[in-house]
Structure 1
Amino acid sequence: MTPRPGSLCSQTARRKLLAMFLALVLGTSIVLYAYPGAGGPATYAAYLYTRPRPTESRRKKPLPQHQQQQQQPPRTEPRRASVETPAGSRPGTQSSAVAASVAGPARSGEDAEPESEIPAGERRCLPQAIIIGVKKGGTRALLEFLRLHPDVRAAGSEPHFFDRNYQRGYDWYRSLMPPSLKGQLTMEKTPSYFVTREAPARIRAMADGNTKLLVVVRDPVTRAISDYTQTQSKRLGLPAFEELSFRNVSAGIVETHWNALRIGLYAEHLQRWLHYFSRKQFLFVSGERLVTDPATEVAHAQHFLGLRPLISEENFSFNTTKGFPCFKKAESQGQLHCLGKSKGRQHPNIKPEALSRLREFFQPFNRKFYQMVGHDFGWD
């Protein structure tokens, strides 16, 4: 049996307090009227007042220390829900090691944050849609553009629940989501999910495979350079891009184990996801067009998510300095917001022969990816 994360949405604190109060009143009434000896509540109250109190001689004496140690109950580990391979998943086998790695999280982990008081009518929900990739593809831009929509409620930071924090449990995960009203869509983005082996089975187990998945893809070579540029800004003395890209620079042998290049093997990663989700549950967004024509890409996303088509060209304005579109909400009276300083970094100059060899390497993988998703992104 596939475990469930409980309700996708939490109860408000006010409803919980009301339920506790009603249970207390009902329980007290039952005890008063069902107390043996008849007489009703008055007799029971008299009994409570006149019943003998335990004296020192009647109290149980403490056991000697050596007997206390013998009678201590054995320690038990916190109970953990298990996850079986989803019955509705596509044919395929799963090793015991992988099966163990997708074991369902506890319903209410010890690390779960207590739910704060939220306005009446609102509640926290597990996400119905997730931006699962890819790193340096444009995931932050897509999330911020979709947050312009009044029916979208999204977590600001990346939860990394299905790759790093799965043991914390669904209650912890839900606590990271913003409160939402009925009819609003809750979503989050963590780009590393797309390349995490355990993520597909774990996300499927959350809502029986009904979660909508968005993937922002970009030319694998350009994406790798952007990835390298970000790392270079944080680590001094990083070797040149060409040195990391090739096992043998003169021979042009590509280093496929370098993560910046391996992320770009989109077909390989997608194949793993298609064992758990149907193709129609994915939307593949062009990272290039998200920059040059954000309104069109966001329109596709609104349709895919079942949202009203409220975001249009009027919400965007291209920033020539950053080379990236800025955006505004309809009610902001023209006030533009741009993404952070980390967006639009200047890329280093890469040797043309290295770029040519990398594009040649990625070409068959790109074409396979085009066939799988039914769209040519024009990277070759």
Structure 2
Amino acid sequence: MTNTVNLFLLGTLYIFDWVSTKEAAELAGKIDPETIGNLPMPGEVDFINGGPPCQGFSGMNRFNNSTWSKVQCEMILAFLSFVVYFCPRYFLLENVRNFVSFNKGQTFRLSLASLLDMGYQVRFGILEARAFGVARSRKRAFVWATAPGELLPEWPEPMHVFAGLELKIVAPGGISYAAVPSTAYGAPFRSITVRDAIGELPPVENGSSKLTIEYVSYPVSWFQKYIRENMMALNDHIFKEMNELNLIRCQRIPRCPGAEWRDLPDEKVKLSSGQTVDLIPWCLPNIARRHNQWKGLFGRLDLDGNFPISVTDPQPMGKVGMCFNPEQDRIITVRECACSQGFMDSYAFCGNIQNKHRQIRNVVPPPLAYALGRKLKEVIDMNQHSC
């Protein structure tokens, strides 16, 4: 089925042809007229923002050359097609840092060129969430675009010290560009630490499955006061239960900063089943040279440090194995991961434990999203005052 649409985009007539599948046409035909009537028309949308699936671009994905990952990478074109159709005043695209360099930068440059060809003003850059008040390092690539006649939002100023390198994008010709300055040498506020984020949360034991529990202490940092607000009870302070062997390993890991699998004693343990097994997994010491010494596996968080890279399934033998609570013998909880991303304690997550971790993992950390939103509000207010 072939369809043709004549669309006035920013004062220019564009003609688009596309081919829809039989299945797509059948599904579209089942949408009731009232629903269709409530959908916005081109020119009626002020703001479109989102992040196309990042798994295909992510360096953490061991299968980013698979067919499905390649399909996910191409979804960015589908996302840009919404801009073509709706002609929003403002547009914000977000993705992982590797989006900029993926496929030798061709996908990134295609996105920018597409927006520019449509007549939009464009600004791009990489921001570090920890510089905006998050307890973990999280680098995200952003693309702002605004229609002609609208002000282009500036980047928010980083407010927290972060001792990382300046995040630059190398443009064609070798020119380097940084959206915001590095805060490695100073900022108005210090970094948010693991202690700031989760230091006052009540203790829970391996196997605990209570979805709601009472707080047992008052907030001890301004960050804790901010995210708790007026909450009287804590939700989602739960985690996936460890098996007996991993629990024993966790109990043997010292409760000190940087402790990991290399701090385990080289001995065997007897399980309740009667089986005797090595406390240190065989693969860790035997192939460590090929895997950066398996750094961080079975690791404890440092109360005065930050959380590692966010993952959808925290586990001690995972790609990011530093997932043990600093002071308790267990994996970090859903709520602790949410605190590390800057979620308010009142925010509710849906589904099972892994679904909740995925919801936390996939977002732009709320403090960074808030900072970007304030910059958008500034230009909207300025446009209104100038009318």
TM-score > 0.5, shorter chain as reference: no
After TM superposition, the score normalised by the length of structure 2 is 0.24
After TM superposition, the score normalised by the length of structure 1 is 0.24
Q: Which has the higher contact order (CA 8 A, sep 6+)?
A: 1
Higher helix share: 1
> In terms of Rg, which structure is larger?
1
Higher strand share: 2
